[in-house]
Amino acid sequence: MSIETQPFDFLVATGQWAFAVTAFLVLLICGASGLAMMTHGVTGPLLVFRWIPRFPADLLQLSPRRVFAIAQLTFREAIRRKALVVFGMFALLFMFGSWFLDNPNERMELQVKNYISFVLTAITWLLLPVVLLLSCWGLPEDIRNRSLHTVVTKPARKTEIVIGRMLGFSTLMTILVVVMGLTGYVWIDREVAFNLTVYSETIDVDGQETLVEYVDEDEGVTVRVTAGDEPTQVTAATSRTALRQENPDLYALTERARIQALGRHLVAKRPVLGTISFKGDDGKPTERGVNTGDIWEYRTYIAGGTNWRAIWDFENVRSEVAADGLVLESSFEAFRTHKGDDIQESLLLQFSLVKVRRSVFRDANNNVVSATAVRKSRDDENAFEATVDGESVAVSRFPVAAHDVEVRNNSYVLIDDPEIVVLIEEEIRAPLSSFNISEFGENITVLKPQITFYDQESGERKQLDLVNDLVNDQGELRVEVACLDSGQYLGMAQRDLFVRLPSSSFAVGYSKAICGVWMMLGLIVVLGVTASCFLKGPIASLLTFVMLLVGQGFMPFLEKIVGGEVEGGGPLESIIRIVRQINVTDQLPENTFYSTIKGIDGFLNQGLFIVKNIVPDFRNFQMDTYVANGFDVPWSQAMAPSIGITLAYLVPCLVVAYYSLSLRELEHK
């Protein structure tokens, strides 16, 4: 699972969208002018420019009443084409889905993940072909059957036809998504409740903490209740129903604990992620940890019993600290070089809270100076000076945020200018008590407002205020993670440690994921209706499906090609390397032939750049990974980009659909 940490900036995205749409329209006008010149001669471009004002004029005279009438007609036609048959397939999947998903030997959190992924995937892939075929075949079929003539002969404008079609198909799609989403939510809740046969929860009973342990097996039901220092009460029954009849009060107690356990499994956690870096055995910062030979490089490891450390820098911590403190949740992965005497023994872990001062330096001309060239002034200990172009100049320090810094060549440098080394000064360190990690579950660490720790230098126990003493002036907190077991390794990824805010309701996170599915299908409707305005049904379906395939499955590879990150060069260069058996890491000879090949690949790369910016990035709509892993869907990192992409394609698609439908000969089949 990957969680995006950078928030979506609507202003920046709007500027990029305006530039891309303007460039697209200019290219469209130039292409249309060229074709018009070939058919109409010199007057061709003039005809094109006369057509340009028609769309805004048509849009200004749009009638909501006629749009609603066309949308209503489209909705009825879709139902007559038996689009609701998909409900039958959906019902069959849910009737027999639990046969293949239920596994009593699997951990409960994995079963919940399977249930949620199954529901959201089923909704997406059942509705996708229905929406794709309806939107791509509706208009061509009406043209072929000449049923569209009953619309175009009336005072209905082309924009009203296009918008009405999109609204009609979107309305049907919305009804399908809402019904399936509600059904899926009820199914998930019932399946999790049915399979929750073992739980242990601490609840409040008359102001006293009471531990309720419940086990439901084939032999019967066993309940253990422990209240404070009182002895444990053990009650056994043949079944849950028998427990309800024999001991109603105890049954009510187990129901409260069961509801609380359901809330732990069906939850939408709100994480605050930090930036991750590492410290090697020599104490210097490094980009990655130890490679244990795992092909999947999502996690990197720190060696136990050494100076290796994993470091997280969390920002805006002051605003997140509640009255009860700060909650850290971690889920690390162990790599063992030896099992020891007890194979079930978990690794020993220690957190250290560190207050750091992160600074860059600037001279009198506001030029940034690397920290390697900075030294303390001889006259004033609080002043700094640096050698710039052979001269000693006074410099001032300025704070820099953690997300603006990265590790390169064993140094912290600015991301925007890797030549500038950032000074990191450790001011206070507070090592916390060590604990054994749970390798197959969540590890919760509560940082109280007052941190008590043992100071090895003074040999005394000290107490520090979490906010005032350990959080720096920029509101940042550094957490260092160390593995204390020698010969063992602990795997780390960015999302494996985060600050956990109060969780949202599972229904909220699930609804956001359903909204993501709805927006993706809505965009398919827009693209399909647009394609059907200038293509026949099969070709329009193929074009829309290819855009979906590229935007969802091949976009990462396309980004690597456009960014020049693929070894071996472009397509022609790759073919030549294969034929001549030249290794991808070897440099090609410097001659005219290879320079020409690279130039052609560069031209083709520009074409791929255009494709990358035209095809929607459907990966933003995949929100099921958040909900399935127990996280809430973040607004700024997931919902906002999805809304932005959906809205961004409306205007250009309306323009293309209007002119395509206006120039199409509707009288022909």
Of the candidates 179, 164, 176, which has an alpha carbon nearest to the alpha carbon of residue 79? Answer: 176
Helix (H, G, I), strand (E, B) or coil at 632: coil
Q: pLDDT band for position 590 (50/70/90)?
A: confident
Note the pLDDT of residue 6.
62
Separation between Cα atoms, residue 644 and residue 640, nearest integer Å: 6
Are 633 and 518 a contacting pair, CB within 8 Å? no
**Which contiguous run of DSSP H or E holds residue 26?**
helix 10-40
pLDDT score of 308: 93
Task: Report d(CA 193, CA 173) in Å as an integer.
Answer: 30
Q: Which residues pair with 398 in a beta bridge?
A: 360
171 CB contacts (<8 Å, ≥6 apart)? Answer: 71, 75
DSSP assignments along 385-419, one per residue: EEEETTEEEEEEEEE--GGGEEEETTEEEESS-TT
More confidently predicted of 97 and 25? 25
Per-residue pLDDT, averaged over 529-550, amounts to: 90
Residue entry with tokens 């160390």: 482
- If one compares 442 and 452, the residue with the highest pLDDT of the two is 452
Question: Would you state the structure tokens that stand for residue 172, as one six-digit string?
Answer: 């049907």
Neighbours of 565 (CB within 10 A): 9
> What whole-number distance in Å separates Cα of residue 24 and Cα of residue 653?
11
Average pLDDT, stretch 475-492?
90
Q: What per-residue confidence (pLDDT) applies to 133?
A: 87
Mean pLDDT computed over 363-379? 83
Checking if the pLDDT of 483 tops 70, the result is yes
At residue 2, the pLDDT reads 43
Segment 393-403 shows an average pLDDT of: 87
| Residue 668 clears pLDDT 50, i.e. is over it | no
Sequence spans of domains, the chain: 24-193+506-663, 208-265, 272-502
CB 29 within 8 A of CB 48: yes
The Cα 154–Cα 151 span in angstroms is 5
Output the pLDDT for position 479: 93
8-state DSSP, 216? E
The torsion of the CA quartet 244, 246, 252, 257, rounded to 10 degrees, works out to: -80
* pLDDT attached to residue 1: 41
* CA–CA dist 649, 531 (Å, integer): 13
Q: Which range, of 106-115, 156-165, 179-188, 646-655, averages the lowest pLDDT?
A: 106-115
Question: pTM higher than 0.75, yes or no?
Answer: yes
Side-chain-facing half-sphere of 201: CA atoms under 13 Å: 22
